[in-house]
Structure 1
Amino acid sequence: MDWSKFRKDMWTAFQAMRFAIDEINNSTKLLPGITLGYDITDSCLEVVDIQASFRFLSGKRRTELEILNNYTAYQPRVIAVIGPPSTDVAITIAKMLGLFLVPQISYLASGEILSDKMRFPSFFRTIPSDKNQANAMSLLIQKFHWNWIAVIGSDNEYGRKGVNKVVELASAAGTCIAYQGIITTSPEVVIQVINNISSTVNVTVLFSNELTAQVFFSLVVAQNLTSKVWIVSEAISLSQEIIKIPNIESIGTVMGIAIKEGQMAHFKEFLDKRVNFTNPRIMPDPGLEENTDSRGSCDQACSQFDWLSAKQLNSILYRLEKRVSYNVYSAVYAIAHALHNLLQCHALEQQKQYITSKRWTDEPAVSSLQAET
């Protein structure tokens, strides 16, 4: 495995989920007598997420999704899904889960489109909608009386809709949009955009995912575009990869929108523990077939994963990752509180039927927790 590509931020988010589940399972007040479990899959590609979602929706003791005339009494393998982080992928997954009214809570998918309850009836999130950060950017522009700006976004749902919202709000406030464009990871496309803004504007809004922003700012440095003002979206404002770009400080002043940091008592101590996969088959054996279920349990200590200890992470990186991790932590607790409210004092067998019927007769209990939509 190429450990250089390992995303420590997502690992920390995963640990936040485990941390929350451990707290809930050890609680005598929240879901007393009930143990929560979880099934986790890598969110590396959209096709992987779709395959995982079909598995989550498959009936208990089944490996495939049944085609039925009526799903009102259908019981999927899971009662809720947390994630995925990307708006583009979350839209696809939300359409699938929405057909079954399985609650989905994303911790990073901020696209405004996901607030449409007619299209995504069971989608919730613990991160504000992009309309909020677009509004914050517009207010920042007004505060400094910048009336001639460029607005650029990455070529995905997050970037395109973010650009449109910023342009809408800034224009309504009297700001002139001198240039509006979409960038990809193609150097030719990025250089053309840089040439368009280099001599026309001093203030640029960048609404982009991290990968595209890395290419963009690397070329901004290479093209010697200096002493400008940049307003960047939350997906990149605290990016450690962009900070590492040589001479990045030459580009000028960077202002960004960031996720609010939450507090999780004793989470850092939880991270400091050594990682231990107690079931050796948590790591798939080379000889296993591709569709073999080789997942296992994990509880924290294994020499292969010593380097994942939070003690190896510098304090700045820990603080950045904790922002996303708190969103995951909050999502787990939202599900737990919703279940607690649904189950109340019913007997175990009644509880199972109650969960199934409530999915189809009432608004999802998660909505009563005032989750961000």
Structure 2
Amino acid sequence: MVSSVYPYALGVFVVLGLGSCCHYSESNCGATAPGDILIGVLQSCHSRVENQDQSIDPQGFHCTNFNLVSFVRTLAVIYTIETINNSSFLPGVRLGYVICDTCADANNALKSTEQMLAINGTLPNLCDATEQPAVKAIIGARYSEESITVSRFLSLNMVPQISTTSTAAILSDKQRFPSFFRTVPSDIHQTRALAQLMAYFNWTWVGVVSGDDDYGKAALQSFLADAEEARVCTAFQEVVPHNLNDENSDRRIQEVVKHIKSLSEAQVVLLILKEELVQRLFKEIIKEDINRTWIASDAWSLSLPLATMKNINMLGDIFGFSFIKGPIPGFEQYLQRLLLATGTVNQFIEEYKDLRCSPEVQECLHKNHVNQCPLPNSVKFASHLACNLSDLPERNDEYLIRNVEIELMYGEKLATWSIAYALQSLLKCNQSVCLGERNFPPWKLLQELKKINFTMDNGQFFFDNSSSFTNGYDLVNWARTGDARTFKVVGKFNIMKNAVEISDNDIDWITSDKTVRLT
């Protein structure tokens, strides 16, 4: 198992452009770049905190399970920041960043957020970090439970936060989360879309499996209300622990699988779970030779690791709604070279390249094929090409491009550009110079974010009254391609029309018997 121990020993980063004696310590964070204005990024580059229930030390935590999708999301922000810096969009102003790993845990997300806004690891009265922090806005977190916790803290001083994936409906409450924004719609739209999809195909008897976190609970209740309105009945409701460290997780998943198997009349199952839990569930489903129609929540509707897992075609039809995707020109080439810019630090990139060819991987690959290496997690990143290169910075290939849906990162592009457009207005930028004061309190940037309205890639983007984007969803069918699945857009959910639009003829049905499909 690959692991990283936090905090990182990165030293002290001197914030540029503040004109004060304050220093910014990023000891809990893994990537930094200097700039006149800093953007914070919260991502779960690791998906587990090891033995957290036994921890007695408040300073450090041990994170495991390197998460490829979250890692690439951080790279999408970095790439967009560099794109903006290399343009004349903010003339004379350079954006920097501080990226912290939440390890998919709300408490650690809060710890990392505090660290971003802190000076020398504390919040002293001498230099009030909450009024004039170095970080002016934060992009993240990935999961709603993290964002709910973080937003409570950030809202105390109106520090803007933009999530690209947190969809819990509660985050639309501007009284409780006044500084929270997101580049995706609220779950109230997704659950309505899910219910309409089921009604469209006459799937009126369905099961639901959800997580026990805030996101899972809220999404479940929202779906049940929408399902009732669409005359879709629930055959069963099962809940599994959201925390991957929960000692009851595997046992509970096995119980859920047995329940699904025994309820043969419910041929359609909605999974409101994060990717790692779906993977555990599917492994048991395949082992038990269960064939159903599976409906994905946005958390896993475009998961390449799931789409390529062994025997995925045994599972039956899979549908899900995904966020609107878009192009990020040049990003694939960036991922193939992954070279650090001068003055930047990125321990996540270093860890990823170590995974491409750690000593254990190198020894294993020398003797065996990748599939024969008995290394449970790290081996999936292994590369013969990387092992032939002794220079760590040069350990690149097409692994990221082949294993991550790149267009999924469009939300990171939109979030970063949203901040840039707000800064352009706040700093009074023209074509040659930005005249405004750069050491501003974050609440001034928040006010400008509420006003943005820009066009990009033939789409118009702005935050509605609940500070969410309302660009709708794509309906994705997991079509068969050899032994794996590919994502095929076969429809959409139009939020403005409140309607599902489906191209029936484009669907690749695995279940050929219509009487089974339409339960």
- Normalised TM-score (structure 2): 0.61
Q: Which has the higher helix share?
A: 1
2:328 maps to which residue? 264
- 1:90–1:167 distance in 2 versus 1, CA, 3 Å: same
Query: For 2:390 and 2:413, how far apart are their aligned partners in 1?
Result: 24
Residue 155 (structure 2) aligned to one of 98, 103, 108:
98
TM-aligned CA deviation for residue 75 of structure 1: 0.5
Question: Where does structure 1 lack aligned partners over 5 or more consecutive residues?
Answer: 285-300
Answering whether residue 171 of structure 2 is matched by residue 111 of structure 1, we say: no
Which letter maps to 2:418?
Answer: A
- 1:231–1:56 distance in 2 versus 1, CA, 3 Å: same
Residue 124 (structure 1) aligned to one of 177, 181, 202:
181
Answering whether residue 196 of structure 2 is matched by residue 142 of structure 1, we say: no
Q: Do the aligned partners of 1:87 and 1:157 also contact (CA within 8 Å) in 2?
A: yes
The alignment partner of 1:40 has SS state of strand
Q: Do the aligned partners of 1:158 and 1:209 also contact (CA within 8 Å) in 2?
A: no
> What's the RMSD between the two structures over aligned residues?
3.1
1:31 maps to which residue? 90
Which letter maps to 2:437?
Answer: Q
Which letter maps to 1:249?
Answer: N
- 1:259–1:218 distance in 2 versus 1, CA, 3 Å: same
The alignment partner of 1:41 has SS state of strand
Answering whether residue 276 of structure 2 is matched by residue 190 of structure 1, we say: no
- Report the number of matched residues: 346
The alignment partner of 1:37 has SS state of strand
1:85 maps to which residue? 142
Which letter maps to 1:197?
Answer: I
1:65 maps to which residue? 123
1:9 maps to which residue? 69
TM-aligned CA deviation for residue 67 of structure 1: 5.6
The alignment partner of 1:38 has SS state of strand
Question: Where does structure 2 lack aligned partners over 5 or more consecutive residues?
Answer: 4-63, 349-388, 453-461, 469-519
Q: Which has the higher strand share?
A: 2
TM-aligned CA deviation for residue 32 of structure 1: 1.4
1:275 maps to which residue? 339
Residue 326 (structure 1) aligned to one of 410, 417, 424:
410
Answering whether residue 443 of structure 2 is matched by residue 366 of structure 1, we say: no
- 1:278–1:123 distance in 2 versus 1, CA, 3 Å: same
Q: Do the aligned partners of 1:122 and 1:364 also contact (CA within 8 Å) in 2?
A: no
- 1:63–1:194 distance in 2 versus 1, CA, 3 Å: closer
Query: For 2:252 and 2:147, how far apart are their aligned partners in 1?
Result: 27
Which letter maps to 1:272?
Answer: Q
1:172 maps to which residue? 229
- Normalised TM-score (structure 1): 0.83
TM-aligned CA deviation for residue 142 of structure 1: 1.1
Q: Do the aligned partners of 1:84 and 1:109 also contact (CA within 8 Å) in 2?
A: yes
The alignment partner of 1:164 has SS state of helix
Q: Equivalent pairs: percent with the same residue?
A: 29
Query: For 1:326 and 1:90, how far apart are their aligned partners in 2?
Result: 19
4+ residue runs of structure 1 moved beyond 6 angstroms?
A: 346-349
Query: For 1:64 and 1:117, how far apart are their aligned partners in 2?
Result: 28
Residue 217 (structure 1) aligned to one of 252, 264, 282:
282
Query: For 1:322 and 1:345, how far apart are their aligned partners in 2?
Result: 30
Deviations 1:62-95 (A, max 9, x none): 4311369xx7992012111111111111111111
Answering whether residue 326 of structure 2 is matched by residue 240 of structure 1, we say: no
